[in-house]
Amino acid sequence: AQSVTQLGSHVSVSEGALVLLRCNYSSSVPPYLFWYVQYPNQGLQLLLKYTSAATLVKGINGFEAEFKKSETSFHLTKPSAHMSDAAEYFCAVMAYSNSGYALNFGKGTSLLVTP
């Protein structure tokens, strides 16, 4: 079964510093991978997705992620953190079952940005 593991439930960075949120996947087939962001009291919003095209994927709000098959990773980065980036971030993998395709989410990483 396809699954993802997010390393680090909490990450703290200073404003202007590099943001790196880690996600490793497990999949026996080429995966489709997603990063979602959740701001307080809101639903999830898609940041970016990998669907087997370019390995470097650019998303909204200056975020990007690189698919590395050799490392089974799909880490999310942003060169310079803004205060507004403080939120919960979820990595997800498309999983196939007898019922069809669905998303399996990681447990999330809470990003704190300090002045």
Could you tell me which stretch among 17-25, 41-49, 55-63, 79-87 binds another protein (CB under 8 A)? 41-49
Is there binding between residue 25 and another protein (CB under 8 A)? no
Could you tell me which stretch among 13-21, 40-48, 58-66, 72-80 binds another protein (CB under 8 A)? 40-48
Query: In the bound complex, what is the minimum distance in angstroms from residue 108's beta carbon to another protein?
Result: 5
> What number of CA atoms fall less than 13 Å from residue 113's CA on the CB side?
17
Q: Sketch the per residue contact string, 73 through 112, with another protein: x for CB under 8 A, - otherwise.
A: -----------------x-x-x--x-xxxxx-xxxx----
The tokens for 100 are 């069809």
- 86 vs 103: CA distance, rounded Å: 24
Please choose, from the candidates 44, 42, 49, 53, the residue with its C-alpha nearest in 3D space to the C-alpha of residue 64.
Answer: 49
The tokens for 25 are 């996947």
Among 32, 35, 50, 74, binds another protein (CB under 8 A): 32
19 or 93: CB nearest another protein:
93
Task: Give the dihedral of Cα atoms 31, 37, 38, 44; nearest 10 deg.
Answer: -50
33, 50 Cβ separation under 8 angstroms = yes
Binding site for another protein (CB under 8 A): 9, 32, 34, 36, 41-46, 49, 51, 90, 92, 94, 97, 99-103, 105-108
